[in-house]
Amino acid sequence: MQRRSLIKAFTLSASIAAMGMSWTVQAAETIKVGILHSLSGTMAISETSLKDMALMTIDEINAKGGVLGKKLEPVVVDPASNWPLFAERGRQLLTQDKVAVTFGCWTSVSRKSVLPVYEELNGLLFYPVQYEGEEMSPNVFYTGAAPNQQAIPAVEYLMSEDGGAAKRFFLLGTDYVYPRTTNKILRAFLHSKGVADKDIEEVYTPFGHADYQTIVANIKKFSQGGKTAVVSTVNGDSNVPFYRELANQGLKATDVPVVAFSVGEEELRGIDTKPLVGHLAAWNYFQSVENPVNEKFVADWKAYAKAKGLPNANTAVTNDPMEATYVGIHMWAQAVEKAGTTDVDKVREAMAGQEFDAPSGFKLTMDKSNHHLHKPVMIGEIQDDGQFSVVWETDSPIRAQPWSPFIEGNDKKPDHPVKSN
């Protein structure tokens, strides 16, 4: 079975290569698609694979004849983990390359940086990563999770009997908008569950922070006061030294579990995961999910990585933002087919209610009004092979609440996108 799907994947990629050759001939009839991910700098660990996943999905769509009878032509730019450069590259994609849609960004600060550009020039951005909410732009579709689709269920799990019945929470994050807002929401949520301020500790580190000695020592000290869990919103390659320090200082998952919102299969490739077994991550998809769509997705990706000679292709893995990228591109293509044009305003209308059978094993729906996907929530435990085993999941996809009810004043915000300026 596996071999057969692998063969299928190979023939698929072979036909993709054949398609690639014909591109140059009909270059005039392509639809340009922008890809805006950091290929260097501190975020490259996470974002590079999204670029490759986007290219694979585009190849897949082209192999089936493209969109509106035209082939998609990817335009890849590298904003180099430099937030202002995101805005610059975004503007270049819209004005110079005239792309129909852009798939990109990981950190919220990069999304905030390009947002004014996309609103000014009426571009279309698909954002594939879990984020803090508090935003709903008519020019962005959010295919990652809002806090109620990731952070809050994760903390609820930690408080449950199976999750270890944690009483104290150590909120550790990188110092920028996503961790700060998420932790603000979590603090309000924990208050509503009767957790006092003295049982919540909030700590931030700069991007690219590499020395976690003091922080791990503090986590240890904090955990003496009762059953503790760490909620980590550490982003990028800082995770490697953080987990290494945890292991070296002997802090085990059975004593103090760490649940991470930005650590997936891709990030774990840089670490020896044996000392990390039992630590958790909350996502809407894991590579280990068992269903036919996912089996094909993973096999296609592995074959693609081999065929393209990506670095470390033999250990290629899929993760949640990659799945969100894949779903986003397919939904956009469906919406364009439905609208019959790539015009941003028409595509935006056609996006409402789009459905797609996602590798997570659920039929995901784009919400009719709020530009967010309905997503299932899963909690996975790190295994010694760098994969996650799902220990808890929701029965059905949940609707996103980008305006979290745990932040004051959000009840007055409209449930449809409004330009931010």
Partner 1 sequence: MRVLLSRIILLTLPFLASLPAYAGDAADFVAASSGEQARLLEAWAATPDATRVPLLKALQENRLGGDDNDVPFYEKGDAFVGAEGNAQPAGTPRKVRLNNRLRNLISAAMATHQLYSDVAADRLTAARELQRKAQPEQMALLETRLAVEQDDEVGQALTLALANLQLSDADPAVRLNAVRLLGETGQPQARNRLQNLLDDAAETNPAVRTAANTGIVQIDRKLLIGDVLGQAFSGLSLGSILLLAALGLAITFGLLGVINMAHGEMLMLGAYSTYVVQTLFQRYAPDALAFYPIVALPVAFIVTACIGMALERTVIRFLYGRPLETLLATWGISLILIQLVRVVFGAQNVEVGNPSWLSGGVQVLPNLVLPWNRMIIIGFALFVVALTWLLLNKTRLGLNVRAVTQNRNMAACCGVPTGRIDMMAFGLGSGIAGLGGVALSQVGNVGPDLGQSYIIDSFLVVVLGGVGQLAGSISAAFGLGIANKILEPQIGAVLGKILILALIILFIQKRPQGLFALKGRVID
Binding residues vs partner 1 (CB under 8 A): 39-42, 44-45, 48, 161-164, 175, 203-206, 208-211, 213-215, 217-218, 220-221, 224-226, 237, 240-241, 244-245, 247-250, 253-254, 257, 269-272, 275, 278, 311, 381, 389, 391
CB of 118 to partner 1, least distance (A): 25
Closer CB to partner 1, residue 17 or residue 210? 210
Nearer of residues 203 and 352 to partner 1, judged by Cβ: 203
What DSSP line would sit under 61-111, residue for residue?
A: HHHTT-BTTB-EEEEEE--TT-HHHHHHHHHIIIIIS--SEEEE--SHHHH
Q: Which is nearer to partner 1, 115 or 271 (CB)?
A: 271
In terms of Cα–Cα distance, which of 220, 137, 153 is closest to 185? 153
Give the helix ranges, DSSP H, for 144-234: 151-159, 177-192, 213-223
Q: Which is nearer to partner 1, 48 or 150 (CB)?
A: 48
150 φ, ψ (degrees, to nearest 5): -145, -65
- Helices (H), strands (E): how many in the chain? 12, 14
Closest CB to partner 1 among residues 26, 213: 213
Q: Calculate ∠ Cα 112-116-117, nearest 5°.
A: 110
Q: What CA–CA distance (Å, rounded) separates 370 from 138?
A: 9
d(CA 303, CA 313): 9
> Looking at beta carbons only, is 46 or 294 nearer to partner 1?
46
- 65 vs 58: CA distance, rounded Å: 11
In whole angstroms, the minimum distance from the beta carbon of 209 to partner 1 comes to: 6
Are the beta carbons of 300 and 56 closer than 8 angstroms? yes
* Tokens describing residue 127: 């954002």
Question: In whole angstroms, how close is the CB of 61 to partner 1 at the nearest point?
Answer: 26
Q: Which is nearer to partner 1, 205 or 294 (CB)?
A: 205
Within a 10 A sphere around the Cβ of 269, how many other Cβ atoms?
17
- The minimum distance between CB 322 and partner 1, in angstroms, equals 15
Closest CB to partner 1 among residues 60, 267: 267
| Shortest distance, position 200 Cβ to partner 1, whole Å | 15
Q: Which residues contact 37 (CB under 8 A, 6 or more apart)?
A: 47, 48, 50, 51, 54, 78, 79, 104, 105, 106
| Closer CB to partner 1, 39 or 124, in the complex | 39
Report yes or no: 103 and 128 within 8 Å, Cβ to Cβ. yes
> CB 174 → partner 1: shortest distance, Å?
10
As measured in angstroms, the least distance from the Cβ of 185 to partner 1 is 20
How far apart are alpha carbons 314 and 323 in whole angstroms? 19
Task: Give least dist CB 81 to partner 1, A.
Answer: 9
CB of 74 to partner 1, least distance (A): 18
- Report angle CA 132, 78, 176 to the nearest 5 degrees: 25
